[in-house]
Amino acid sequence: MSESVVTESRPDTAAGSADRVRPGPVLLTAAGVRVRLGRREILHGVDLSVRSGEIVGLIGETGSGKTTFARAALGLVPTTDGSITVGREATQVTGLHGSRLRAFRRTGAVQYVFQDPLRSLDPDLTVGRSVAQGLVLRGGLGAAQIETGVSEALHAVGLEPDLTGRTPGQLSGGQRQRVAIARALAVSPQVLICDEPVSALDAAHRNHVLQLLNGLRRDRDLGLLLISHDLGSVAAVSDRVAVLYRGSIVEEGPTAQVLAHPEHPYTRMLLASAASLHAGDAGAAQRQALRREVLAGI
């Protein structure tokens, strides 16, 4: 069942095993991360790591806590326990506040790419100014250096320099997501967190962006956390997969192993749902029944 999810969703030049790189040093480490939002604890002690040159897929249904984890890694939500360290210097993000947190953000060590570039890109800013934002914020760079940084970032995502004068509304969805990725790359991040980066795109653009991410981690030694509820996308490019269920990682391992031999009932349920959706099965009632049956046993 999982085979069809993996194979048919793989982008054209895909991340076959020969294309994969040997992972380097750990660039993101989460240990026992707990996050409370309002009255509820959302993350219940999450352990996760991402190495340089590696794509780790974080999968789970809506509400499982994927975005909350990403926000914690950026220092945007406080943790109540555990630690998150980022980058080769292993900067401890948890516990950073105020000016120290702002200084960490300015380093650009960890960057976030959102699902919907139309919402994350300022509609009034040109492509050039959007991509320059992080470089300007970092400070200390002259206009020529910023211009070079913008051109290099656009080149890295395969966008022509003549797009710099356009606004997001004048671009296709795929181009917009490339701009958002270029903006993140411009500040030379060590870790890139992509939160549902292709779910707003059609199949062709989705494959192009997945290929792009796959190439970037290889060429730039990025550690890439790919957050998605789309197993096909994760299967296509991730080296490892972590499965988040109600705020806890219930299974983690090499992608091929987890997808072919899922051990946790929740992972099996996710795979079964994806496979039936993939086959065009409109049996929503059956899926719901399966879901109830599986979740009752967890």
Cβ proximity to ligand ATP: between 104 and 245 the closer is: 245
The nearest distance, CB 48 to ligand ATP, in angstroms, is: 14
Starting at the edge strand that comes first in sequence, how are the strands of the sheet with 40-51 ordered? 40-51, 26-37, 81-86, 91-92
Residue 246: CB atoms within 10 Å: 16
Burial string for 138-165 (b: 16+ CB within 10 Å, else e) reads beeeeeeebbebbbebbebbebeeebbe
Q: From the list 51, 105, 229, 240, which residue makes contact with ligand ATP (rule: CB under 6 A)?
A: 229
Q: From the list 4, 8, 24, 37, which residue makes contact with ligand ATP (rule: CB under 6 A)?
A: 37
User: Among residues 41, 75, 79, 45, which one has the least CA distance to residue 244?
Assistant: 45
Options 15-23, 34-42, 155-163, 215-223: segment touching ligand ATP (CB under 6 A): 34-42
The nearest distance, CB 75 to ligand ATP, in angstroms, is: 15
Q: Does residue 197 bind ligand ATP (CB under 6 A)?
A: no
Q: From the list 12, 16, 62, 139, which residue makes contact with ligand ATP (rule: CB under 6 A)?
A: 62
260 close to 2: Cβ distance less than 8 angstroms: yes
In DSSP notation, 81-113 reads EEEEEETTTTEE-TT--HHHHHHHHHHT-EEEE
- Residue 262: CB partners within 8 Å, gap ≥ 6? 2, 251, 268, 271
| Residues numbered 66-85 forming contacts with ligand ATP, rule: CB under 6 A | 66-68
Cβ proximity to ligand ATP: between 10 and 71 the closer is: 71
Binding residues for ligand ATP, rule CB under 6 A, total 12
Q: Does residue 64 bind ligand ATP (CB under 6 A)?
A: yes
Cβ proximity to ligand ATP: between 52 and 228 the closer is: 228
- In the complex, the residues that contact ligand ATP under the rule CB under 6 A are 37-38, 42, 60, 62-68, 229
